[in-house]
Structure 1
Amino acid sequence: MTTTRTLYLFGSAAPPLFDVADVIAAAQAVGWDVCLGLTPTAARWLADRLPALEALTGHPVRSEYKLPGEPDVWPKADVIAVAPATFNTINAWALGITDKFVVGVVAEGIGKGIPLVAMPCVNAAYVQHPAFGRSVERLRGAGVQVLYGEGGFVPNPPGSGKPRDYPWMALLAAVRAAAES
């Protein structure tokens, strides 16, 4: 299949991240050119897999900003998906705290009008913190499609996560819909 669309897939350090190669392959199977970006902790979690992920995508995996004057090594994004998006990533993005590469790109993506899809991965204790709900609403108000609740990610009690049940296919369906709108 000819690849004509570019998906930036950004992941935070949460257990579903370990399935990212399968998600990349599924996206590629329907025509996406996938560029993988990770938070620094997520990159550390996948350190031994980074060469294979770069071979799979055909692009460097990025977790840090490029230096001024360096060329961008990725094509322009048609859609950006952030999943799994941790408590920290969701809150930093909503507040515009862009010290992390992935958060900086998606914060700028709002202003550039790039379709953005996010799916949290947080436990039920974190969602009780008042910042989380405000952050989800702030992102939604900025045009980000946040797949949280019915049809997206539903939190589990702390310590009882089910990473294999993370709704990756809901994310890819939302990415497809965002590209078509």
Structure 2
Amino acid sequence: MRTLYLFSSAASPVFDIARVVEDAQADGWDVCLGLTPTAARWLDRSLDGLAALTGHPVRWDYKLPGEPDVWPKPDAILVAPATFSTINAWALGITDKFVVGVVAEGIGKRIPMVAMPCVNAAYVQHPQFERSVETLRGAGVTVLYGEGGFVPNQPGQGDPGAYPWRAALDAVRDLPPGA
């Protein structure tokens, strides 16, 4: 069985993460769930159940030096929903958050990765966002942004139920094997 790291930021589609884990498992993945600290806080009451569902501890912080890694090595990584902050931090190499550190290093390790943003139309007007998307694409990350992926909504107008999770899972399934 192939291992998928599913990394999620604090955006409203994260509340569907248990269903997404189940869908990924139905696609044949062993899923390890990583969250940004804010997403972990949002899902605090569900963390034990999510750990039971995946069979792995849910992680949102770096392990201490010398501690063993509790997850198997990934065959692929899906970062979704990826907030404005997560996309920009990843592209800029700002690795103070566990999930961003893993995916920043994942570029160098040539781990196949997919990112799907969840940002509103006001955020995408910031000049750094497009640069970050292009930086990640240039580094080999499949970024599902625009037609066929995530299309931004007006601030306050998002529909978490319309987030295209299936497109993200299909893109991960279709990734070529890593190095």
Deviation string, structure 1 residues 96-117 (Cα, Å, up to 9, x no partner): 0000000000000000000010
Query: In the alignment, what sits opposite 2:36?
Result: 39
Counterpart residue type for residue 5 of structure 2: Y
Deviating beyond 4 angstroms after TM superposition, the runs of 4 or more aligned structure 1 residues are none
TM-superposed CA distance for 1:159, in Å, is 0.4
Aligned partner of 1:79 among 70, 73, 76? 76
User: How many residue pairs align between the two structures?
Assistant: 178
Query: In the alignment, what sits opposite 1:50?
Result: 47
TM-superposed CA distance for 1:179, in Å, is 4.7
Amino-acid identity (%) = 77
The alignment status of 1:120 with 2:117, answered yes or no, reads yes
Question: Do the aligned partners of residues 180 and 149 (structure 1) sit closer, same or farther apart at CA in structure 2, a change above 3 Å counting?
Answer: same
Normalising by structure 1, what TM-score?
A: 0.97
Query: In the alignment, what sits opposite 1:22?
Result: 19
TM-superposed CA distance for 1:143, in Å, is 0.3
Equivalences for residues 1-181 of structure 1 within 5 A: 4-179=1-176
Normalising by structure 2, what TM-score?
A: 0.98
TM-superposed CA distance for 1:49, in Å, is 0.3
Check the 8 A contact 1:79/1:179 in 2, yes or no: no
Unaligned stretches of 5+ residues in structure 1: none
User: Separation in 1 of the partners of 2:62 and 2:138?
Assistant: 27
Deviation string, structure 1 residues 9-44 (Cα, Å, up to 9, x no partner): 000000000000000000101210000000000000
User: Separation in 2 of the partners of 1:118 and 1:179?
Assistant: 15
User: Separation in 2 of the partners of 1:30 and 1:147?
Assistant: 19
Counterpart residue type for residue 113 of structure 1: R
Unaligned stretches of 5+ residues in structure 2: none
